Structure 1
Amino acid sequence: MMALEITTLEENTEGEHTGMIAEHGLSFLVEMNSISVLFDTGRSSAFLQNAQKLNKPLDAVEHIVLSHGHYDHSGGFRPLVETYPNHPYTLYTGDGFFNPKYARFNASYQYLGNDFNTLYLRQHGIKHEIIKEKKEIFPGIWMVTNFFNLHPEETIHPRFVVRTSNGWMPDHFSDEVLLVVESSKGLIVLVGCSHPGILNMLDTVRQQFSSPIYALLGGTHLVESDMSRTKTTIDEFKRQGISILGISHCSGNDAIVLATENSEMHFHNTLGSSLILEE
């Protein structure tokens, strides 16, 4: 029998276990039989303390996937490495993960990127794989990137920019990746912030896999959408037959309410939530 458990180690909103630290960020632990994969690390060491509170030791985790190069998804990576020194990690990222990412507000720029670089990885003996296409990192666990752009309503806010040798350029989030976990019920899709557009990302998954999407967990970045687009997107999730919606983080309150109302399966994926399948 296959046991699959996906636990939210970091999220903006406190859950039932009030002894954990909720902060703006996201981190999932995926456990499938003897395999453990960490998807995002929140913005600080808080997810490590939360894992301890949940009796989820992370000393066996060797594979880490970071959804994109923003601090609230990668900020806990350095504390993880320094908590478990000399551990044989492999870090998986998309292409452009280390590009210096900023938010622009009028004449000011605010750095949003990572607090480590490739030199840090070399100094700590961490293997780094840059993913540019679909890749299976364990049997039944896939990374997907290079997303379609089929929904013109899904635009990236112009405040997100990248600093380059040729000046400031729009951040197209070419580094964004998602995780797909196969189960007998269908695909479980984990997303970080969905900057390229959540419908674009799900279209890409459906094109590359024959199984239907069973569950969607994580940030959909609908927080900046108007109510019309938010409702259309949630309706599309349901039209596609996604059985479980566990959205959170940058999804926004309107999307979470629309997704969870009148449903016994959809839930606000608060800190400490677990999706558990025993097959």
Structure 2
Amino acid sequence: MRAMRIWVLSDNTAAPPVFEAEHGLSLLLEVEGKRFLLDTGQGEVARRNADRLGLDLRSVEAVVLSHGHYDHTAGLPFLLQRTGPKRVICHPNAFDSKYYQRGDIWRFIGMPWRREFLESAGALVEENTGPLELADGVWVTGEIPRRTEFEPGDPDLKCERDGELVADPFLDDQGIVVDAGEGLVVLLGCAHAGAVNTCLYARKVAGKERILAVVGGSHLAFLGEEQLTATISAFRDMDPLRLAFSHCTGQEAACRLAAAFGKRFIFTQAGNCLELGDHPSEGTRPPPALVGPVGFPHYP
């Protein structure tokens, strides 16, 4: 199995007492010495937690934005201050004006920075709509086809079209897929296209069926009992070794997932690191394992 690490740099909760939390997500993926960042959180937390972990963000080869919400993109200029100019890969719709709306309550939740500002700060923006190979066996999915009937999306999330707020189709929602050798590891931002849809498309992108691990946000906190139950059933069929969810998954959904998958499920926090495969001078570690600098246990 390919050696791989995934650090959680930004999340809604954090490993005490060292790390900071915020409403956001940022995952640092390392595959055989190459590093890629999925999302940036909403502020400076990802950068500061990287410092606490002793991670040099200048080594990141590319930043992938999973979609255009503030809690996944607003930390970008703070990271660029540390890294210098970097490839920033996103769907063109990531720059859309995006909103939360329920009844008469609404608020802007899109990317707070103009593209021109981000480019002046060092973002080398590359727009993608289809699969993009970042490195050997590492892909950005691009647009994710909707195949399941139970993942319709969140009706409270909108985007602006011709001066009106309409249901956001989330064409910009994308993830990262890694061929780990024995199967696939799938990284999610919020999975607005559906966590199961993303895994199904990951199989097509990588040309491999086995799902070893799914890591990141699932938005299951906001999507109701029917979708949660169907998602659990679909993941039972996929039979992954590890589900490592956080951010928009929510505590209630996390408890249901933990009950369904036992020790195969982890509710991750900022400061955690998920390891897969063999690492130099470390022997063979049962994949995937959760480790952390503050005494987190290994899960066989």
TM-score (norm 2): 0.86
1:47 and 1:216 mapped to 2: Cα distance? Answer: 21
Map of 2:73 onto structure 1: 74
- Deviation of 1:108 after TM superposition, in Å, equals 4.1
When the two chains are superposed, the root-mean-square deviation of aligned CA atoms in Å is: 1.8
Conserved? CA contact 2:77–2:121, under 8 Å: no
Aligned counterpart in structure 2 of residue 209 of structure 1, from 195, 206, 210:
206
* CA-to-aligned-CA distance 1:70-108 (integer Å, 9 cap, x gap): 011111101112234xx2300000230100111123334
* CA-to-aligned-CA distance 1:182-222 (integer Å, 9 cap, x gap): 21231110001111222222221223333211000011111
- Residue 96 of structure 1 aligns to a residue whose secondary structure is helix
The answer to whether structure 1 residue 63 and structure 2 residue 62 are counterparts is yes
Conserved? CA contact 2:9–2:271, under 8 Å: yes
Residue correspondences, number = 276
- Change in Cα spacing, 1:233 to 1:10, as seen in structure 2 (3 Å) is same
Conserved? CA contact 2:177–2:186, under 8 Å: yes
The answer to whether structure 1 residue 12 and structure 2 residue 4 are counterparts is no
- Structure 2: 5+ residue stretches without partners: 279-300
Conserved? CA contact 1:62–1:88, under 8 Å: no
* CA-to-aligned-CA distance 1:13-51 (integer Å, 9 cap, x gap): 222x42111111111011122211111111110111111
Map of 1:98 onto structure 2: 95
- Structure 1: 5+ residue stretches without partners: none
For 1:240, the aligned partner's letter is M
- Deviation of 1:113 after TM superposition, in Å, equals 1.0
Which stretch shows the higher mean deviation, 179-188 or 160-169?
160-169
Map of 2:272 onto structure 1: 273
- Residue 36 of structure 2 aligns to a residue whose secondary structure is strand
Conserved? CA contact 1:231–1:255, under 8 Å: no
Aligned counterpart in structure 2 of residue 138 of structure 1, from 135, 152, 171:
135
1:124 and 1:251 mapped to 2: Cα distance? Answer: 32
2:189 and 2:203 mapped to 1: Cα distance? Answer: 18
Map of 2:224 onto structure 1: 226
1:62 and 1:117 mapped to 2: Cα distance? Answer: 23
Conserved? CA contact 1:227–1:254, under 8 Å: no
- Change in Cα spacing, 1:243 to 1:81, as seen in structure 2 (3 Å) is same
2:156 and 2:169 mapped to 1: Cα distance? Answer: 11
Map of 1:127 onto structure 2: 124
The answer to whether structure 1 residue 197 and structure 2 residue 194 are counterparts is yes
- Deviation of 1:9 after TM superposition, in Å, equals 0.7
* CA-to-aligned-CA distance 1:44-63 (integer Å, 9 cap, x gap): 10111111111112122231
The answer to whether structure 1 residue 256 and structure 2 residue 222 are counterparts is no
1:254 and 1:121 mapped to 2: Cα distance? Answer: 36
- Residue 62 of structure 1 aligns to a residue whose secondary structure is strand
- Percentage of pairs with the same residue: 29
* CA-to-aligned-CA distance 1:162-184 (integer Å, 9 cap, x gap): 12334222211111110011212
- Deviation of 1:241 after TM superposition, in Å, equals 1.6
Map of 1:157 onto structure 2: 154
1:268 and 1:206 mapped to 2: Cα distance? Answer: 24
2:7 and 2:182 mapped to 1: Cα distance? Answer: 18
- Deviation of 1:158 after TM superposition, in Å, equals 2.4
- Residue 243 of structure 2 aligns to a residue whose secondary structure is strand
- Change in Cα spacing, 1:125 to 1:247, as seen in structure 2 (3 Å) is closer
Which stretch shows the higher mean deviation, 134-143 or 118-127?
118-127
TM-score (norm 1): 0.92
- Residue 263 of structure 1 aligns to a residue whose secondary structure is helix
